[in-house]
Amino acid sequence: MREVLEVNGLSKRFGGFTAVSEVSFKLQEGEILGLIGPNGSGKSTTFNLIAGLHAPSGGSVRLHGEEIGGLAPAAICHRGIARTFQIPRPFRKLSLLENVAIAAFYGQDQKVSREKAYADAADALGLVQLPGGPDARVDGLGAAGLKKLELARALATQPKVLLADESLGGLDHAEMEQAADMLAMIRREKGITIIWVEHIMGVLMRVVDRCIVLDHGEVIAQGKPAEVAHDPKVIEVYLGTDAAEVQQTVADRAA
Amino acid sequence: MEIFDIFLLEAVLNGILLGGLLALLSLGLNLIFGVIDVVWICYAEMIMIGMYAVYTLHVQYHWPLLAAMAAGIASVALLGALMHQFVIRPVLSAEPINQLLVTGGVLFFLQAAATLAFGIEFKNLGVKLPPVAIGEMSFSFPRIIAFAVAVAGVAATYLFLTRSYLGTAIRAISQDREIMPLMGVSPGRIFVATSALGGALAGLSGCLLVLQYDIHPAIGLSFGPITFLICVLGGLGNMLGGLIAAFIFAQFISVGGFVFAIEWGYVIAFVFFIAVMFWRPQGILGGK
């Protein structure tokens, strides 16, 4: 397997507060990596550093061996990294198709024609199975629909790496399962490598190949779901009383 | 009574004609505020530059009028882009009051520059177009042209914003500028394009005004305040609100001026404005 992304010693300080401290990991082509941790552990900040929304205070981010740390977000998007947000941020006054078409038109590596951008946008909407047709308005969408739109917008930029800030709060159990299956399907259909941020661990554990656990901006554990779910440190700071349930999920998956 | 009615109708129609022009005046300012969140206090002075550009090219260099107007629009569009790049960009994240003061500084700069370059004398194109008589009513021909072109300009701007990619990106960025870079869009470029478009609309307004009015360095003061009031009345940054407000304002000015006296038209319009501000400080269609 080829290495897609290499994050090395990545740090971010806001004044005296260190939000992300010396985070390092590698991402293999086609894998789904779970990035988990309690609220405020630096998951979203790590995403923002990789996507270029924050400039790193230290460390490097390499995409296929090329340094991208500190580039402008638009440039990083063109290189092939797309990010979704935990709280969907659609353009409410644009149609669904327009929302996605903007990403398809401006976000791809090369110049694309209007027709291709709209075709790519329609593809992305189809892939996430967004109901209501392309002329539908954003206002008709519920929480699950908005998450799908967010995902379609990211996919329309034709990314190599998708940073999915899912944090499935606001979805019911069936919708969560659907969202997890969708990420697995995106990897399968498009061969996109995915980093998935989530704090409901049971759902995530069903799908990811590996996990990284953050706490106070530091990596406290990484490895296969089974290893992480039994890691005493992870149980102490994060899983707590849910540990048994998460371990069961992992065991079910193996079975 | 019949005479009264026909002159009232004439006043209403004149109000509609004026409304089209005011709608165009407010459109560029509203567009820029809606997208970049900065008010160009000097917007009317950019219109003045457009008027001088047309005057200079047509009267002094003997360009055909339409060519002079095209060049006038292009030069104010360029001025708009430069305005963003060199004046607005450095203060983009500054306090709103600082942004306001900076564009206010540009207002005085442009006024002074025009005074130095053209003197304080009133200039005009020397184009005299006959009034148009319909029955007993008579309408100013330049005003009819201004109305038609203004409506076309507003429609073209609407089509551009809804049908083109750049337009869609401009509408998108006005809703959420932080997320745009994640879709590969550099806000800076969209802002420059928006400023150039706002400038082009100011240039077009200048072309229409120069057919009707004499040019002098302080002419911006005749149009600037009313343009702002219309934008605020409609809801600052709301282009549809601006259009509605322009036609309402024009009716007050025109019909009010007919029923009482010309000056009273403005008084009534401003009183109406103040009353609306008590009722809806955010403007007719303004959010927040």
Whether B126 is in a domain gets the answer yes
Whether B261 is in a domain gets the answer yes
Instruction: Using a CB–CB cutoff of 8 Å, tell me whether A114 touches chain B.
Output: yes
Instruction: Using a CB–CB cutoff of 8 Å, tell me whether B287 touches chain A.
Output: no
Q: Residue A169: its pLDDT value, please?
A: 62
Residues of B in Cβ contact (< 8 Å) with A92: 175
Whether B286 is in a domain gets the answer no
Whether B287 is in a domain gets the answer no
Q: Residue B182: its pLDDT value, please?
A: 84
Phi, psi (rounded to 5 degrees) for A28: -90, 150
pLDDT along chain B (288 residues), means of 10: 74 92 94 93 96 96 95 97 96 92 96 95 86 84 92 94 90 87 87 96 95 93 92 91 94 88 86 92 80
Instruction: Using a CB–CB cutoff of 8 Å, tell me whether A153 touches chain B.
Output: yes
Return the DSSP state at B217: T
pTM confidence score? 0.82
Q: Quick one: which of A59, A63, A89 has its CA closest to A78?
A: A63
Whether B61 is in a domain gets the answer yes
Chain A nearest-CA residue for B177: A91
**Residue count (chain A):** 255
**Could you tell me how far CA B89 lies from the centroid of its own chain?**
22
Instruction: Using a CB–CB cutoff of 8 Å, tell me whether A92 touches chain B.
Output: yes
Q: Does the beta-carbon distance from A77 to B184 stay under 8 Å? A: yes
Whether B183 is in a domain gets the answer yes
Q: Does the beta-carbon distance from A91 to B184 stay under 8 Å? A: no
> What are the structure tokens assigned to A17, written together?
């507060």
Assign residue B57 the CATH number of its domain: 1.10.3470
Whether B11 is in a domain gets the answer yes
Q: Where in the sequence is the domain holding B222, given as residue range(s)?
A: 2-279
Residues of A in Cβ contact (< 8 Å) with B181: 52-53, 72-74, 77
Instruction: Using a CB–CB cutoff of 8 Å, tell me whether B222 touches chain A.
Output: no
Least confident window among A116-130, A223-237, B142-156: A223-237
Of B169, B178, B181, the CB nearest to A77: B181
Q: Residue A212: its pLDDT value, please?
A: 92
Amino acid at A100: V
**Could you tell me how far CA B96 lies from the centroid of its own chain?**
21
d(CA B193, CA B170): 9
**Contact by Cβ (8 Å): B88, B99:** yes
**Contact by Cβ (8 Å): A28, A223:** no
Instruction: Using a CB–CB cutoff of 8 Å, tell me whether B172 touches chain A.
Output: yes
Q: What percent of chain A has pLDDT over 90?
A: 31
d(CA A18, CA A216): 8
Indicate whether A168 pLDDT > 60.
no
d(CA A107, CA A71): 15
Question: Is the model more confident about A34 or about A255?
Answer: A34
Whether B271 is in a domain gets the answer yes
Looking at the structure of chain B, the number of domains it has is: 1
Task: Decide: helix, strand or coil at residue A33.
Answer: strand
Name the minimum distance, in Å, from the CA of A252 to any CA of chain B: 37
Q: Does the beta-carbon distance from A53 to B165 stay under 8 Å? A: no
Instruction: Using a CB–CB cutoff of 8 Å, tell me whether B181 touches chain A.
Output: yes
Q: Residue B152: its pLDDT value, please?
A: 95
Q: Residue B107: its pLDDT value, please?
A: 96
Indicate whether A239 pLDDT > 90.
no
Q: Residue A61: its pLDDT value, please?
A: 93
Amino acid at B246: A
Chain A nearest-CA residue for B190: A106
Number of Cβ atoms within 10 Å of the Cβ of A189: 10
> What are the structure tokens assigned to A139, written together?
């206002």
Q: Does the beta-carbon distance from B184 to A157 stay under 8 Å? A: yes
Q: Quick one: which of B21, B213, B20, B25 has its CA closest to B127?
A: B213
Report residue A69's pLDDT band, with 50, 70 and 90 as the boundaries: confident
Query: B110: which residues sit within 8 A by CB, 6+ positions away?
Result: B42, B45, B46, B48, B49, B220
pLDDT tens across A124-145, in order? Answer: 998 888 866 667 788 878 878 8
CATH number (3.40.50.300, 3.40.50.10490, 3.20.20.60, 3.90.1150.10) of A3-80+161-254 reads 3.40.50.300
Q: Does the beta-carbon distance from A102 to B165 stay under 8 Å? A: yes
SS3 sequence, A172-190?
A: CHHHHHHHHHHHHHHHHHH
Alpha carbons within 13 A on the beta-carbon side of B116:
6
Amino acid at A145: G
- Domain ranges for chain A, please list them: 3-80+161-254, 89-158
Q: Residue B59: its pLDDT value, please?
A: 94
Residues of A in Cβ contact (< 8 Å) with B186: 72, 74
Q: Does the beta-carbon distance from B181 to A53 stay under 8 Å? A: yes
Residues of A in Cβ contact (< 8 Å) with B175: 91-94
Most distant pair of Cα atoms in chain B: their distance = 65
Instruction: Using a CB–CB cutoff of 8 Å, tell me whether B175 touches chain A.
Output: yes
Residues of A in Cβ contact (< 8 Å) with B168: 94, 98, 101-102
Q: Residue A133: its pLDDT value, please?
A: 66
Tell me the ipTM for this assembly.
0.72
